[in-house]
């Protein structure tokens, strides 16, 4: 039996084509070969946002003017991160982890655009912090805390389910380890 060159080429490329079928690519070109790649993409972006929040918190105490100027920068960066995550396809038809990240990151964007702006306005307009200002600051802080706890729990649970489904072991992220040390 004579085998043509096309048949040989096809047979040689077949394993590669089958392997490519399972590759998942984000809109920005990032390739997710494994569930761990997908996880790291999301968590890496979450880490950037959290670092920005930590830096903003420091600047609020040191220099409210500097902190105020950072809000637009961090809001724009969070917009880009949200777009990155929205550009991720579901991982093997599973979008729960990605969607929980989008909800969480959208909340962080609202922090930069609304809540932190209001906190800074109050601190800058009333440096002595009247009782009225303190009460409003406490209300804002409590609202942030409630919303963040709920969204963080949803993201944590979605990540845990993702890890379980794909046999991954989760370890604390670098930012989580830093925060644990501070506490």
pLDDT tens sequence across 6-25: 554 444 444 443 444 557 88
Handedness of CA 100, 87, 70, 106 (dihedral sign): negative
Residue 74 has what pLDDT? 98
**Residue 45 backbone class (left: φ over 0; alpha: ψ -120 to 50; beta: rest):** alpha
Q: How far apart are CA 31 and CA 95, in angstroms?
A: 16
C-alpha count within 13 angstroms, C-beta hemisphere, residue 16:
5
Confidence grade of residue 126 (pLDDT, cut at 50, 70, 90): confident
Q: How far apart are CA 177 and CA 179, in angstroms?
A: 5
Residue 22 has what pLDDT? 56
| Residues 60 and 119 sit within 8 Å (Cβ to Cβ) | yes
Query: Dihedrals φ, ψ of 86, to 5°?
Result: -65, -25
Structural Rg of the chain based on CA atoms: 22
Residue 5 has what pLDDT? 52
Residue 179 has what pLDDT? 66
| Residues 81 and 105 sit within 8 Å (Cβ to Cβ) | yes
Residue 19 has what pLDDT? 42
Report the chain's mean pLDDT, rounded to a whole number.
86
């Amino acid at each position: 039996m004579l085998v043509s060159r096309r048949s040989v080429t096809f047979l040689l490329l077949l394993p590669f084509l089958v392997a490519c079928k399972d590759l998942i690519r984000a809109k920005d070109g990032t390739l997710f070969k494994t569930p761990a790649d997908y996880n790291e993409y999301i968590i890496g972006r979450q880490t950037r946002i959290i670092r920005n929040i930590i830096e903003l918190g420091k600047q609020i105490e040191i220099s409210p003017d500097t902190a105020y100027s950072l809000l637009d920068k961090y809001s724009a960066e969070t917009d880009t991160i949200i777009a990155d995550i929205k550009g991720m396809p579901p991982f093997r038809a599973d979008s729960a982890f990605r969607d929980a990240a989008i909800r969480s990151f959208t909340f962080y964007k609202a922090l930069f655009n609304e809540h932190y702006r209001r906190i800074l306005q109050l601190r800058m307009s009333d440096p002595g912090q009247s009782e009225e200002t303190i009460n409003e600051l406490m209300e804002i802080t409590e609202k942030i805390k409630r919303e963040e706890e709920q969204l963080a729990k949803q993201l944590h649970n979605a990540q845990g389910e993702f890890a379980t489904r794909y046999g991954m072991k989760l370890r604390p992220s670098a930012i989580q380890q830093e925060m644990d040390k501070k506490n």
